[in-house]
Copies of this chain bind each other. A is one copy, B any other.
């Protein structure tokens, strides 16, 4: 947090006093810079690659300085996750497409964002909902509402779709392995193939059509959830 003792308040983006301390070295620390660098690190080094020390190094600052802007490492994860899920608010006008296109658009965008940063998929299950996530949920809720889904059924619909996105993203991210791992998995499976004949036959782990599965499943869900097409 900004201000150790202030408990919960982050610095208002309203005005920026900007002391401009450093003559010409590094720009001063800021939440944005910290989060952006954390995302960089996560993208390049993976989830275990993010350490406070490395983060500080990249920022050209001391480790403990980070803790002025951030509560702890968990906080960094939360912020990085939400950052990655930023979304462009739909340009209010235009897009009078059907509700269904709208919903599909929201969900596919969501999935795409997460696939762009594979660590986010395995992180999200443990983290709280940030504003951007909530924003996306709100968008989805709206689309469904417009589609005539009754308020009573709204939660079921939202969660089913959310689950589909989460599940397919996580699954895909965790199976998109390095070639080494891929080979190892194939190896291991081959050894046991007599016990899993059906899986073996369909080559489930090897050449699945992730995007196709996502789209198809999504269609079925939408068909069921809001029958009016």
B167–A134 CB distance below 8 A: no
Q: A57 in the interface, Cβ–Cβ < 8 Å? A: no
Which of A9-17, A24-32, A58-66, A214-222 is found at the contact surface with chain B? A214-222
Contact across chains for A121 and B125 when beta carbons are under 8 A apart:
yes
Given A138-B198, A164-B167, A156–B209 Cβ distance below 8 Å? yes
Interface string of A102-135 (1 = CB under 8 A from B): 0000000000000000000110011111010011
A199 to B166, Cβ gap below 8 A? no
* Tier of interface size on chain A: 35 or more
Which of B156, B162, B170, B224 is close to A125, meaning CB atoms less than 8 Å apart? B170
**Is the pair A162, B151 in contact by a Cβ cutoff of 8 Å?**
no
Is there contact, CB below 8 Å, between A166 and B171? yes
| B138–A195 CB distance below 8 A | yes
**Is A44 interfacial (CB-CB < 8 Å)?**
no
Q: What B residues does A166 contact at CB under 8 A?
A: 166-167, 170-171
User: Contact string, A196-229, partner B, CB cutoff 8 A, digits 1/0?
Assistant: 1111011111001110111011011101110000
Cβ contacts A152-170/B at 8 Å (1 or 0 each)? 0011101110111111101
Say how many copies of this protein the assembly contains: 2
Binary contact track A33-71/B, C-beta < 8 Å → 1, others 0: 000000000000000000000000000000000000000
The verdict on A2 contacting chain B, using a C-beta distance below 8 Å, is no
Is A145 close to B, CB under 8 A?
Answer: yes
Complex CA distance for A147 and B141, rounded to whole angstroms: 34
Nearest chain B residue, comparing its CB with the CB of A131: B192
* Chain B: minimal CB distance from A172 (Å): 9
Cβ–Cβ contact B158 & A204, under 8 A = yes
Known: A125-B174, A220-B225. A210 touches B138 (CB 8 A): no
Q: How far is the CB of A107 from chain B (nearest CB, A)?
A: 12
Given contacts A170-B170, A220-B223, 6 further A-B contacts (CB under 8 A): A125-B125, A128-B185, A155-B208, A160-B164, A160-B217, A166-B167
Q: List 7 A-B contacts (CB under 8 A).
A: A121-B125, A122-B125, A122-B126, A151-B202, A155-B208, A163-B163, A163-B164
